[in-house]
Structure 1
Amino acid sequence: MRVLGFGTYERAKHPRVGILLDGLRQRGHDVAEANRPLGLSTAERVTMLQQPWRLPLLVLRLLARWTSLAVASRRTARSHRPDVVIVGYLGHFDVVLARLLFPRTPIVLDHLIFAADTAQDRGARGLRVRLLGLLDRLALACCDLAVVDTEEHRALLPRRIRGLVVPVGATSEWYAAGHDASQDASPSAVFFGLFTPLQGAPVIAEAVRSARQRLPELQVTMVGTGQDYPEARRILADDEAVTWVDWVDPADLPGLVARHDVCLGIFGDSHKARRVVPNKVYEGLAAGCAVITSDTPPQRRALGDDGVLVPPADSRALADALVAIARDRETLQRARAACAAKGASFRAERVVEPLEAALRSLAA
Structure 2
Amino acid sequence: MEHASRILLWGTADTGKPRTRIMLSALREKCDVVGEALFLVWGGIDDKSQVKGAFGALGVFLKFLIAYPVLIFRYLTAPKHDIVFVAYLGALDVIILWPFARLRGAKICWDAFLSLYDTVVEDRQLARRTGVFAKIVHGFEKLACVAADRIILDTKAHADYFAQTFRLAPEKLDVVWVGAEAQFFNARAKERSGKFNVLFYGQFIPLHGIEHIVDAARRCDDRDIEWTIIGKGQESEKIKQKIDRDPIANARFIDWIDYSDLPQMIADADLCLGVFGNSDKAGRVIPNKVFQIIAAGAPLVTRDGPGARELFATPPANVWLVEPGSADAILSAVLKAKNSNYAVSGSPYDGVREKIAPGAIASSAVSAVEKTIAKDAVNASSIKSGAENPMHAKETGAS
| TM-score (structure 2 length as normaliser) | 0.79
Q: Are the aligned partners of 1:96 and 1:139 in contact in 2 as well (CA < 8 Å)?
A: yes
The corresponding residue for 1:270 is: 279
Shift of residue 248 of structure 1?
2.1
Distance 1:165 1:172 in 2: 20
Q: Are the aligned partners of 1:289 and 1:340 in contact in 2 as well (CA < 8 Å)?
A: no
Q: Are the aligned partners of 2:14 and 2:89 in contact in 1 as well (CA < 8 Å)?
A: no
The corresponding residue for 1:4 is: 8
Distance 1:24 1:340 in 2: 27
Cα offsets for 1:171-220 (capped at 9, x unmatched): 12333xx2334242232121112211111001111112233x12x22222
C-alpha distance 333-58 of structure 1, shift in aligned 2 (>3 A)? closer
Asked whether 1:129 is paired with 2:134, we answer: yes
The corresponding residue for 2:63 is: 61
Q: Which runs of no fewer than 5 residues in structure 2 stay unpaired? A: 375-399
The corresponding residue for 2:106 is: 105
Distance 1:252 1:84 in 2: 37
1:343 partner letter: R
Larger deviation, residues 179-188 vs 126-135: 179-188
Alignment of 1:343-354 (within 5 A): 343-354=353-364
Q: Are the aligned partners of 2:7 and 2:81 in contact in 1 as well (CA < 8 Å)?
A: yes
Alignment of 1:239-278 (within 5 A): 239-278=248-287
Counterpart among 308, 312, 327 of residue 324 in structure 2: 312
Distance 1:202 1:93 in 2: 33
2:153 partner letter: V
The corresponding residue for 2:47 is: 43
Q: Are the aligned partners of 1:290 and 1:339 in contact in 2 as well (CA < 8 Å)?
A: no
CA RMSD of aligned residues (A): 2.7
C-alpha distance 147-361 of structure 1, shift in aligned 2 (>3 A)? closer
The corresponding residue for 1:88 is: 87
The corresponding residue for 1:24 is: 27
Counterpart among 173, 190, 204 of residue 163 in structure 1: 173
1:278 partner letter: P
Larger deviation, residues 16-25 vs 115-124: 16-25
Distance 2:304 2:118 in 1: 21
Alignment of 1:120-199 (within 5 A): 120=121, 121-123=123-125, 124-125=127-128, 126-157=131-162, 158-161=166-169, 162-175=172-185, 178-186=186-194, 187-199=196-208
Q: Are the aligned partners of 1:285 and 1:340 in contact in 2 as well (CA < 8 Å)?
A: no
Q: Are the aligned partners of 1:174 and 1:254 in contact in 2 as well (CA < 8 Å)?
A: yes
The corresponding residue for 2:377 is: none
C-alpha distance 332-319 of structure 1, shift in aligned 2 (>3 A)? farther
Which structure features the higher share of helix residues? 1
Distance 2:252 2:205 in 1: 19
Q: Are the aligned partners of 1:22 and 1:349 in contact in 2 as well (CA < 8 Å)?
A: no
Q: Which runs of no fewer than 5 residues in structure 1 stay unpaired? A: none
Shift of residue 352 of structure 1?
3.8
Q: Are the aligned partners of 2:108 and 2:150 in contact in 1 as well (CA < 8 Å)?
A: yes
C-alpha distance 333-55 of structure 1, shift in aligned 2 (>3 A)? closer
Alignment of 1:181-220 (within 5 A): 181-186=189-194, 187-211=196-220, 213-214=221-222, 216-220=223-227
Distance 1:250 1:7 in 2: 24
Cα offsets for 1:99-138 (capped at 9, x unmatched): 2443221111111222221112212211111111111112
Shift of residue 227 of structure 1?
3.2
The corresponding residue for 1:281 is: 290
The corresponding residue for 2:386 is: none
C-alpha distance 198-319 of structure 1, shift in aligned 2 (>3 A)? same
Distance 2:290 2:205 in 1: 16
Shift of residue 30 of structure 1?
2.8
2:203 partner letter: L
C-alpha distance 15-54 of structure 1, shift in aligned 2 (>3 A)? same
C-alpha distance 301-309 of structure 1, shift in aligned 2 (>3 A)? same
2:18 partner letter: P
Shift of residue 263 of structure 1?
1.9
Larger deviation, residues 225-234 vs 299-308: 225-234
Q: Are the aligned partners of 2:322 and 2:333 in contact in 1 as well (CA < 8 Å)?
A: yes
C-alpha distance 83-326 of structure 1, shift in aligned 2 (>3 A)? farther
Q: Are the aligned partners of 1:109 and 1:145 in contact in 2 as well (CA < 8 Å)?
A: yes
Shift of residue 53 of structure 1?
9.7
Distance 2:168 2:134 in 1: 22
Any idea what SS the aligned residue of 2:114 has?
coil
Larger deviation, residues 301-310 vs 38-47: 38-47
Shift of residue 341 of structure 1?
5.7
Shift of residue 169 of structure 1?
1.1
Q: Are the aligned partners of 2:31 and 2:366 in contact in 1 as well (CA < 8 Å)?
A: no
Distance 1:170 1:132 in 2: 30
Q: Quote the sequence identity (%).
A: 28
2:143 partner letter: L
Distance 1:256 1:292 in 2: 16
Aligned pairs, how many?
351
- Greater RCO, CA 8 A, separation 6+: 2
Shift of residue 295 of structure 1?
0.8
Cα offsets for 1:204-258 (capped at 9, x unmatched): 11112233x12x2222221111233344442584435422121223333333333
1:226 partner letter: G
| TM-score (structure 1 length as normaliser) | 0.86
Distance 2:23 2:249 in 1: 40
Distance 2:46 2:119 in 1: 10
Shift of residue 356 of structure 1?
2.7
2:152 partner letter: V
